[in-house]
Structure 1
Amino acid sequence: MRPSDPLIRAWLALVALSALATGVSLLRPDAPPWAATVAGAAILVLAWLKARVILNRYLGLAGVPGARRGFGAGLGAFALAALVLYALG
């Protein structure tokens, strides 16, 4: 059964995304070096998804398409810049 309240669904999505990020961060120390880079990129993507859930549901931007696009573009640019800097570092 799915909860009908959008805030509860958003909270459950945040919990699930946090659990996924935690699972990804628990890499084994004997993993190849490239695995840490992939894991870091995956964690950044999960953080971007969490930020979108917060903006759309908790701040109510889901009902304001123009603001949602503007914040989404800014957030996407920031996430992409962080991903590029992480990959280069």
Structure 2
Amino acid sequence: MKLSWSDPLVRAWVALMALSLAATAVAILRPQSPAWAGTAAGAVILGFAWLKARIILNRYLGLAFVPAARRAFGAGLGGFAVAALVLYALGQAG
């Protein structure tokens, strides 16, 4: 099997790897002070996780071809991401 950059799965895999590297870099380079900087770094990492989940749903599970299901999963995933962000921010504030 020959891999090609025009293959959507190859591009999705490259995007997942880039987002993983970016999240790792944010975690490693996260400033220790002020306190809000750690919360912002956590929010950025959660944002990367949300983007990765969207890529997996759209490309690997084929939801890019089913608009109604993509919207439904996107809304559920977005709600979950916002809830996780709120819980994370509340945990950092305490």
TM, length-normalised to structure 1: 0.93
Tell me the residue number matched to 1:39: 41
Compute the displacement of 1:33 (Å). 1.7
CA distance in 2, matches of 1:72, 1:4: 25
Residue 69 of structure 1 is aligned with which of 50, 68, 71? 71
Q: Which of structures 1 and 2 has the larger relative contact order (alpha carbons within 8 angstroms, sep 6+)? A: 1
Give the 3-state SS of the residue equivalent to 2:20 in structure 1.
helix
5+ long unaligned stretches in structure 1? none
Runs of 4+ residues deviating >6 angstroms: none
- Structure 2 matches for 1:15-54, cutoff 5 A? 15-27=17-29, 30-54=32-56
CA distance in 1, matches of 2:45, 2:30: 16
Tell me the residue number matched to 1:84: 86
State whether residues 52 and 72 of structure 1, in contact with CA within 8 Å, keep that contact through their aligned partners in structure 2.
yes
State whether residues 31 and 38 of structure 2, in contact with CA within 8 Å, keep that contact through their aligned partners in structure 1.
no
- How much is the aligned-residue C-alpha RMSD, in angstroms? 1.4
State whether residues 30 and 41 of structure 2, in contact with CA within 8 Å, keep that contact through their aligned partners in structure 1.
no
Identity within the alignment, %: 73
Compute the displacement of 1:35 (Å). 1.1
